[in-house]
Chain A
Amino acid sequence: MKPSRTFRHGGIIVNPISEWDQRERVENAFLPNGAVILLKQHAGRQARCVVRRGEYVREGMVIGRADGPLSANVHSSIPGVVRDIRVVALPEGGHAEAVVVALEGSFDRLGRREERYLWTTSGRNEILATLRDKGVVDTEAPGFPLFDLLGESRDIDLLIINAVECEPYLKAESCILRDRASEVMEGIAILQKILTPRRTLVATSRDRQPLLVESQESLSPVENVVLDPKYPQDMPAQLLAAIDGAHGRKGHNATIIKPSTAYAAYEAITHAMPMVERYVSVGGGAIKRPMVLKARIGTRIGDLIEECGGFRNPPVRLVLRGAMRGHSVYDLDTPITKTSSSVIALAAEEVGSQRRSSCIRCGRCRSICPERLDPDMLFRFVERGMIDRAIATGLRLCTACGACGYICPSRVPLVAAFSSELRNLEAPLSEPTGAKR
């Protein structure tokens, strides 16, 4: 029997999973007239604001300084005047300060010939310091700064480039790997220099074929691993399990990085470019022309949607960061952050009936939970306030991947209950994306 190249326990096939098209469009978004730049786009504390109202800022100028561990510098993505510094609500909950910049003056970098810095002669600490300086964070929520993510690890077994996009509507990582392969490869080389991994793997999904990278002379070799599509394969535990399955090995320490993060590292190191833009998948049934846009941080999601032709039919839901694990927003003024991988506008027929009915104990949630939990039982404990029992049966192991919520025929709000309870517990067992094993 052919070994299946995916993780073993649970998992679901999310529809429409295979909507990937080789000719997927990628475009540069228009520059925004104004940008709302959040000072908290990373895992740690909000950055300290270093500009005042009325001050002129240049493109790429620091407007927020990192404040403590897991915090990162924030740069202005456009040149202009600071119109306002106000507190806004974050899509994921909570509040943070945002700097509102109105476009004015000229771009220092845009449209000019890019400088190119030689990094191969720089030391590890120098590269890490540059990454910190340029505010490079992991492009996936909650946005761990690369300085913290990579600084601790060295001589690891595996560096895994995670291009497994298994959620519907997410295409940015695949597009980056397709269109910016050489840049991503150089980013990988930079990461290799910091981490000195024994092996480097690029994991892609079979339904996004062919997305194979070629090793270049100057780098230590990069291997392609093609995995069978299954959700949530992009999560650290499942990705490692899938790769273990493909290679028949177990127990290694690995660092997992998305192609977009490697690309941001490349921009920061070779072009001294702060993290002021990112690739965003704009999609969903309510969008007229779904595509991937390279947008400045702080752009309104409404602007991006407009650039995709606006709405085809009225959206019932606006979602940031993916339909399975993202957050719903109600405001088209919500800005893009370093971790906004996608903007999704869902049409009524995609969302379907939301009416909750009673649990019929069909056991579907149990059979698909990738962490082998019993979501129905956990939910009953949480609903009755028996938190101790819920923790004893594994509530803390829940990664809020959303698979049980997807499959539940009674639309029981399983994931909502678990994630709010996990937030209360502040999950001491959760680890950064580059989980070590």
Chain B
Amino acid sequence: MKRGKALSMGNAPFAFDKRTSSSLMWGTSAALLPAVAWGLYCFGLRALFAIAASILGALVGETVAGGLRKRFSLLDGSAFLTGLLVGMAMPPGVSPYIPALASLFAVSVVKGAFGGLGANWMNPALAGIAFSLLNWPEEMGAWSVPRHLENLSGLSGATPLAYCRAHAVAASGGAGPMDILTSSGVKFTYTDSSMTDFLNQCLFSRLGADLPGGYVDLFIGNKPGSLGELSALLILASSILILSRKMIRWEIPASIIGTFALLTWIFGGLSYGRDFFSGDILFSLLSGSFLLVAFFMATDPVTSPSSRSGMLIYGFGIGLLVFVLRSFGASAEGSAFAVILMNCCVPALAKLDAATSLRRAARAASEAIGVGE
């Protein structure tokens, strides 16, 4: 009698999609590497220390939290991803103990204490970032200029976003954020000026538009900022990759970006002394951690709704809160707190979903009975 050595029994289905939760986590981590690599290029070894400390903190946190629950979960990739995301939000010159403690807190308290992966209600990475922002506001605000821009930039201790916000009240008479940067003596790179010229000649002149200097630098990532959020270009490229591989759902980022862009366009000009419908959408989208948060953090499946309608509402809330926090909040950066606030609403959105499915099931059941007769 020929028998397989280890025939396992079980229930249907016996075929599975290749994708597993841990492959999703590792895949997302891998997709973030280009943005991290750009951060390392800009800031060198100290950036590497910050990221490494953050990941180490997360892995230690996972080991401890998993050990207490007697479950080995280090290889599922979720702790690594959290550590990576926390590290990417750090300013480059930060002392390594800050990211390490932040991600230790994120993984062991925010995630582990609630029962590990899948049981936490708050995004651990964002909680870690918020933890460090609140604990060490000065260290977290100490931005430095990328190495290759040191003799160029006029900005030394602030991101473009923070700088413009600080000077927006003083400036008036219709100067937008980019005008503020230009007038304060910020010089843009050669890449920026040549690319802007090229785009203006080949594309925008035909459309009757004119792209002012500076946006290309913002887009590529030639600006002071945190380790991983510098380059909108690389973050967008990674986002397209993970969207096309269906690792994240499009509804959340689309809803966030749409809401935020619309609000910025309508009301964004007001804080610069301009009229309605004059906000600088491009500047707002490309500055700060907005894109990174919208694509890689708000889409965390555990802490976001599971249904399409829930995702759209959740994204709308985040877009709205980012705008409100950036306009009126204590710091220039609002994305992290916006997502955390909307995390609190996810259980309520789940209740809505449950009510919807209850109605749908009742309708379907009554149809089925009606047919049987």
Q: A residues within 8 Å of B by Cβ?
A: 12, 14-15, 168, 286, 302, 306, 310-311, 314-319, 322-328, 330, 332-333, 344-346, 350-354, 357-363, 366-367, 371-374, 376-377, 392-394, 396-397, 400, 402-403, 405-411, 413, 415-416, 419-420, 429, 431, 436-437
Closest residue of chain A to B307 (Cβ to Cβ) is A366
Within 8 A of A (CB), among B1-60: 1-24
Q: Total contacts A to B, CB within 8 angstroms?
A: 178
Contact between A359 and B371, CB atoms less than 8 A apart: no
Is B360 an interface position by the 8 A CB rule?
Answer: yes
* Supplied contacts A316-B7, A317-B8, A393-B354, 14 more A-B pairs, CB within 8 Å: A314-B6, A316-B6, A322-B12, A324-B14, A328-B11, A332-B1, A352-B18, A361-B301, A372-B364, A405-B13, A415-B13, A416-B11, A429-B369, A436-B371
Give, as a whole number of angstroms, the nearest-CB distance from B371 to chain A. 6
Of residues B7, B15, B16, B365, which shows the largest number of chain A Cβ atoms within 10 Å of its Cβ? B15
| A351 surroundings in chain B (CB, below 8 A) | 14-16
Contact A325 B12, CB 8 Å, known A360-B301, A363-B307, A411-B20: yes
**A324-B302 in contact (CB<8A):** no
Known: A409-B21, A409-B23. A362 touches B5 (CB 8 A): no
The residues of B that contact A396 with a CB separation of less than 8 Å are 365
**Residue B148 lies at the interface, judged by CB distance under 8 Å to chain A:** no
Q: Determine the main DSSP class of A at the interface with B.
A: loop
Q: Measured between alpha carbons, how far is A68 from B362 in the docked complex, in Å?
A: 34
Residue among A319, A327, A394 with max Cβ neighbours from chain B (10 Å): A394
Report yes or no: A409 in contact with B24, Cβ–Cβ below 8 A.
Answer: yes
A residues in contact with B93, CB < 8 Å: none
Query: Could you tell me which residues of chain B, from 98 to 128, have a CB within 8 Å of some CB in chain A?
Result: 116-119
Q: Considering residues B1, B14, B18, B24, which has the most beta carbons from chain A within 10 angstroms of its beta carbon? A: B14
- Name the A residues within 8 Å of B187 (CB-CB): none
The answer to whether B360 and A394 have CB atoms under 8 Å apart is: yes
In the complex, the answer to whether A310 meets B2 with C-beta atoms within 8 Å is yes
Whole-angstrom distance between the alpha carbons of A376 and B307 in the complex?
A: 11
A407 to B119, CA, bound (A): 20
B348 within 8 A of A: no
CB<8 Å pairs between A and B, sample of 8: A319-B12, A323-B13, A352-B16, A360-B301, A361-B301, A366-B306, A376-B306, A394-B365
Other-chain contact of A327, B12, B307, B357, B372 (Cβ < 8 Å): B12
**A360–B16 touching, CB < 8 Å:** no
Q: Which of A310, A326, A345, A359 contacts B12 (CB 8 A)?
A: A326
With both chains docked as a complex, state the minimum distance between the C-beta of B280 and any C-beta of chain A, in angstroms: 34
Contact check, B306 vs A361: say whether CB atoms are below 8 A apart.
Answer: yes
Inside 8 A of B304's CB, which chain A residues have their CB? 361
